[in-house]
Amino acid sequence: MPLIHRRTIQGEPVRVGEREIIPEARVTWWMRRRSVIGMNSIGGWGAGLVDVRPTAVIERGPGYTRRIPIRDETNRLLLGLLAGAVFVLFLAQVAERLATPQGESK
């Protein structure tokens, strides 16, 4: 049984003129539960995380279907900054190595 489950769901279409817009989202969830039944005791616990994220809107018009993705721009920019941080670290290390004569570590 997988630890993380995922499914894609679609909502009711929104009709605008001759077009239909169908919202689409992805549900990701993790769930754990356990119960213990003993002679003199009974107990249990359960925990779960659910993430619902819109993935796209599907546009259906006369004779065509188009998928317009929905992206998390904030996350993309944050990942870009993280890549920048790694690049700065790499650059600093390279500069240090190039400036240090061979055979000396510090």
Partner 1 sequence: MSEEQHTTEQEDHIGEMFARLDDLQANATVGAVFGQPIMSGDKVVIPVASVSYGFGLGFGEGSDREADKVDIGLGGGAGGGVSAHPLGLVEITPEQTRVEPIVDEQKLALAGMTLAAWSVFWAARAVARILGHGKCKGCC
Residues that bind partner 1 (CB under 8 A): 5, 9-12, 14, 16-17, 19, 21, 23-25, 27, 29, 31, 33, 35, 37-38, 40-54, 57, 59, 66, 68-74, 77-78, 81, 84-85, 88-89, 91-93, 95-96, 99-101, 104, 106
User: What is the token pair recorded at 83?
Assistant: 């890549």
Nearest residue to 51 via CA among 68, 77, 21, 75? 75
Residue 9, H or E segment: strand 4-10
Q: Shortest Cβ distance from residue 19 to partner 1 (Å)?
A: 7
Indicate the residue among 43 and 62 with the shorter CB distance to partner 1.
Answer: 43
